[in-house]
Amino acid sequence: MKRFLQIAGGVVISGLALWVTLRGKDLGAIWAAVHQANYAWLAPYVGILLVIHVARTLRWGILLEPVAKVPFSRLNAVSAVGFMALMILPFRIGEFARPYLIAERPRIRVSATLSSVVVERVADGLFMAALLVLTLLAVPEGTPGLQLLRMAGVAVFGAFGGLLAFLIVAYRNRALAVRFTHRVLDPVSPRLAGRASGMMDAFIHGLRVVPSRTKLITFFLLTGAYWCLNAWGMGILARAFDIHLTAIQCFTVLGVLVVGVMIPAGPGMVGTFQAATILGLSLFVPSAALDTRGTAYANVLWAVQLAVTTGLGLFFLFSRHIRIAQIFTAPSEVEEGLEAEEKEYVAKGDGAPPPGGTAR
């Protein structure tokens, strides 16, 4: 029932987003713009997407390295399949695929792999939210939708900043973070509070090992390169539709897109992806061009990203590093893994004290 509700909710959100994106527009003109595009720009964009895949795989490996040195062949396969799951599964439940697929207890614990993905997401969220807020300063005042986007950028930056602050507190004082989790959820459900605080304790254990200073610098350099490549690639593909964006404009559209796809939607992020792309373009592209070439670009951009991500995932799906059934059971398996690891920590005397207790 839970999965059904997630899928149904995602489909509804996607349908609404597509309706908002296409209502009142000439579908024939959009289709003509798709056919008339100069697809010579498609090859370099696909090449950039492949480089992006390698960059984010290497970046994830840096976060996992203090726990275990994972061979690149396995890391690459899991990364490809994990991002495919994130792209095609509804309601972003594919986020759990990578941590579970790479886990290999007891050498690589679920808590450590999940922590690595959370840290990765926080870094991405802060980087893109900050960049969006800064690039929007270059948009002329009075542009329709500007104030809403600025508020969204600040809100996302604040949310990820708060999450970063919590991770820092959790890293320095695990017991405090566990008690805080319990107290927040206890009024809702004591049973849920106990279960969530135990899982939080296991998750924080995964934060204990931090890469060296040199590795952290490399991680942030790869993060910058990863997002610069994304913006550059979007600008290159836009040329196929005779849309010419400056570097700042590319980053602005990318930032709006990143915020937009954070909204859980249906399979393939359909609807929210196109709506966010068009919203970003609306800051710079005249409405007449936006309703035809801009809308065509948003849909082709989505289709190409979906095709490349899915293609890479399918290529590695049947490798010796992947078990297909794991992809669909990943959310529940990650939860069970965290609970099992928390019990191990408590048995060893290394768990956080119970709510209201004192640290060991």
Tens-digit pLDDT profile for residues 184-214: 888 887 777 777 777 787 777 777 767 788 9
pLDDT, position 358: 40
Which pLDDT value is given to residue 351?
A: 60
Which pLDDT score, from 0 to 100, does residue 339 have?
65
Arithmetic mean of pLDDT over the chain: 85
Would you give the distance in Å from CA 180 to the centre of its chain?
26
Of 17-26, 128-137, 197-206, 251-260, least confident by mean pLDDT is 197-206
Of residues 356 and 267, the one with the higher pLDDT is: 267
Q: For residues 254 and 25, what is the distance between their CA atoms, to the nearest angstrom?
A: 23
pLDDT tens for residues 299-357? 999 999 999 999 998 888 877 666 655 555 556 656 666 666 666 655 666 665 555 44
Query: Rounded mean pLDDT of 53-74?
Result: 90
- Confidence band, pLDDT 50/70/90 cuts, at residue 170: confident
Is the separation of the CB atoms in 153 and 136 below 8 Å? yes
Mean pLDDT of 223-242: 96
Percent of the chain with pLDDT strictly greater than 70:
85
Share of the chain above pLDDT 90, in %: 46
Note the pLDDT of residue 179.
87
Nearest to 99 by CA among 110, 107, 89: 110
How confident is the model at residue 355, as a pLDDT? 53
Could you tell me how many residues make up the chain? 360
| Mean of pLDDT values over 254-268 | 89
For the residues of 124-172, what is the DSSP string, one character each? Answer: HHHHHHHHHHHHGGGSPTT-TTHHHHHHHHHHHHHHHHHHHHHHHHHHH
Q: Where are the domains of the chain?
A: 31-172+206-322
Q: What pLDDT score does 343 carry?
A: 65
Q: How confident is the model at residue 105 (pLDDT cuts 50, 70, 90)?
A: low
* Top-confidence range, 101-115, 194-208, 254-268, 289-303: 289-303
Asked whether residue 359 carries a pLDDT value surpassing 50, the answer given is no
Q: Examine the pLDDT at 59 and tell me if it is beyond 80.
A: yes
End-to-end CA distance of the chain: 41
> Which of 203-212, 213-222, 256-265, 283-292 shows the lowest mean pLDDT across its residues?
203-212
What is the predicted pLDDT for the residue at 357? Answer: 44
- Return d(Cα 64, Cα 45) in angstroms, integer: 29
